[in-house]
Each structure stands twice: as C-alpha cells, then as structure tokens.
Amino acid sequence: MTIDTVICDFDGTLTDSEASLGGFFPEYERLFIEALGIDPSSYARALGIVQTELRADPNKGWELAGHIVAPINSDPFAFNTASHTDLLKRLREGRFEGMLSPSYVPNEKQAGELTNKCHLAAYGEKNIVFRDGAKRFVEGLLQVGYNVTIVSNSGTAAIEKALEDNGFSNIPVIGMARKYLIDPRFTNVPVGVNIPGLVRQALLRRKLYNAVLERICPDPSKGVMVGDNFELDLVLPLHKGFAGVLTNTPAAVGYEIDYMNAHPKGMYAETFEQALSFIRER
C-alpha cells in the first residue's frame, strides 16, 4: 500500500451543502448587518445586485486581495463569502452611496476578518447532513487502516462535534485551514497552473494550506486529497505530488472533470465507491 494518508475536506465533500444550510444564511446576514449598522432591506437589495452580476459573468470568481482564489459557484458557502467580500469592496469604492449607509466601512484586511467571523459564528446554525455514501466511505478508509484527517476552512469544534455525533470521534480535524489565502511571497511553488478550459491560471501559492499538507503528510507520494472544490482543495496537492479525488457535486464543471480524469494521479469520482476503489489501488 503506497498511500497511507487520506486528507479529506468536509463541507460539500462529505456533507450535502444545500441540505446542511439550516439557519446559516439568516444568522450570517444578521451578524453582517449588525457589524456594519446597515438597513436590512437596503442590504438585501445591494446583495441581490452583487450576486446577480457575479452569476452573470463566467469569468468572475471569489476574489481576495486581487486574486481569484476559486470559482464563484463552487459551493453555497464560498459564493456567500465571495458575494459579501465583493459587497464590501464596492462599499470601499463608494458604489452604494445612497443605498447603504454603514456606520463604518472595513478596509480590505478588516473585510476578510469580518466575513470569516460571520462564517464561523453562523456555522453553528447549520444542520449537518452527510451525503449518501459518505459515512460508508469514511468507514472504508478507516477499515483499511489509512490515516484520515479532515482539513477545512470551517471551525474545528463544529466539525469535531458532527463527526462525533456520527461515530467518528477519533478522526483528527484541522479547521481554519484558509485554503483560499494566496501569499505572493511564497515562492516554493509557481504562481499557478494552466488548466485547459479555464481562462485564468488556478493559483498555487496557498502558503497556509501548504503548511497543513506538509504537516499531515511530509511525503506527498503517500497521500491523497479528497475534495469537492477543484481549486481550493486539489490544485495545490496535485502539484505537490499528492493523488487527488474530485467528488461529484453540482458545482463541478467540465474542465475540472477533464483535468482530473487526465491527470496521472487524479480522478473525478461519480460515487464514493469509486473514490474508495481509486485510493485502494494507489
């Protein structure tokens, strides 16, 4: 067995993002409105404008500090964060004057802290629903004897509780991985990788995520990353030499599927059974 370590994303990979929403969005919106001191109806109008424009442009993405870190439609939570990040950017540019009158406008660093704070606080209002076959997949990994670790952008404690409630209390969780953060000064890897069908590069310089990967599995030839978000979860591990599995979700697009299936160490898994077989064959 060459592979001995399986690193797995949580939200959207093992869980059903749509079914798990619960009270996440109402709580996020309440916290966001309260933090900025803005009128709820005006906020809803402004957010609607932002989200309509983001969805209408296929070249748009989740933009942070001038870098597009993931597709805009990658999952409901990423789209929510991207929308609110864009809304805050427009506020800084004065583009919603007359519609929104915030008590303060966060700078770029504060905006990132605010969206992250709202996400983590609202996460506790979710109703975690595992995807069909996900628990059997995890059980299968553990039965084989793989070292399984969950790595997520969400908070550690909430994921640990969800795992414990479903009989997986011994799986380590590394939360707050911030896979989305790009550090241009991190030159251990190239700026990005060209993906056929993608009009921009998929960015690689995710320093914090790289450190997590190296801590869990110093030898990439012995590890596999399983995730639902091609750019956030998989592009960096594949570049480093990990094997990678992109799980089947409505957000997966053609060029991502083609790239994974053409990659010598990658696959697009229609089912968790396929993912488990792929890992066991490595």
pLDDT tens across 24-72, in order? 999 999 999 999 999 999 999 999 999 999 988 867 788 888 899 998 8
Quickly tell me which residue has 């700078």 as its tokens: 107
**Overall size of the chain counted in residues:** 282
Mean pLDDT (the chain) is 94
Distance CA 261, CA 175 (A): 29
**DSSP per-residue string spanning 147-167:** EEEEE-SS-HHHHHHHHHHTT
192-193/202-203 β-pairing: antiparallel
Percent of the residues in the chain that have a pLDDT greater than 70, as a whole number? 99
Task: Summarize pLDDT for 148-161 with one digit per residue, the tens.
Answer: 999 999 999 999 99
Task: Identify which of 109, 92, 124 has the alpha carbon closest to the alpha carbon of residue 23.
Answer: 124
Q: What does the pLDDT average to over 236-257?
A: 95
Q: What does the pLDDT average to over 191-211?
A: 96
**Which pLDDT score is estimated for 72?**
83
pLDDT greater than 80 at residue 219: yes
**21/216: higher pLDDT:** 216
Per-residue pLDDT band for 75 (boundaries 50, 70, 90) equals confident
Percent of the residues in the chain that have a pLDDT greater than 90, as a whole number? 86
**Which pLDDT score is estimated for 259?**
98
Task: Summarize pLDDT for 175-190 with one digit per residue, the tens.
Answer: 999 999 999 999 999 9
pLDDT greater than 70 at residue 118: yes
**Which pLDDT score is estimated for 16?**
93
- Token pair for residue 201? 């590069």
Q: What does the pLDDT average to over 8-35?
A: 95
**Which pLDDT score is estimated for 251?**
84
**Which pLDDT score is estimated for 58?**
67
**Which pLDDT score is estimated for 1?**
60
